[in-house]
Amino acid sequence: MTERAIPCSDAVKQLWDYLDKVLSPEDQALVEGHLAFCRRCCGELEFAKELRSFLASNVVDEIPADVKERLERFMEEL
Ligand SMILES: [Zn+2]
């Protein structure tokens, strides 16, 4: 592996941009590289995907409080 490893906190911060495909190819590769070995962030990616489809199918202005709380708790654990 020649790629730079990024910490979970960086991977999570970029997760949404990754899903939106707005990361530079370099950053995208870093996130993918991280997801390849980090189970926890993989779980978070699945969660973020579900959340996105939820937000896309529901006209809501805000992320539900419990979801937000979960995300915040995840960030604190890093
Ligand atoms: Zn991770």
In a domain, 2, yes or no: no
In a domain, 68, yes or no: yes
**For residue range 22-60, what is the model confidence (pLDDT) as tens digits?**
999 999 999 999 999 999 999 999 988 988 888 788 766
In a domain, 14, yes or no: yes
Cα 39 to ligand 1 centre (Å):
7
For tokens 């995840």, what's the residue?
74
% of the chain residues with pLDDT over 90 = 49
- Domain assignment of residue 58, given as a range: 8-77
- Residue 68's contacts (CB-CB under 8 Å, 6 or more residues apart) are 62
Cα 59 to ligand 1 centre (Å):
30
pTM: 0.67
For residue 2, what pLDDT is reported? 44
In a domain, 1, yes or no: no
For residue 28, what pLDDT is reported? 95
Q: Residue 72: which pLDDT band, with cuts at 50, 70 and 90?
A: confident
In a domain, 53, yes or no: yes
How many CB atoms sit inside 10 A of residue 26's CB? 9
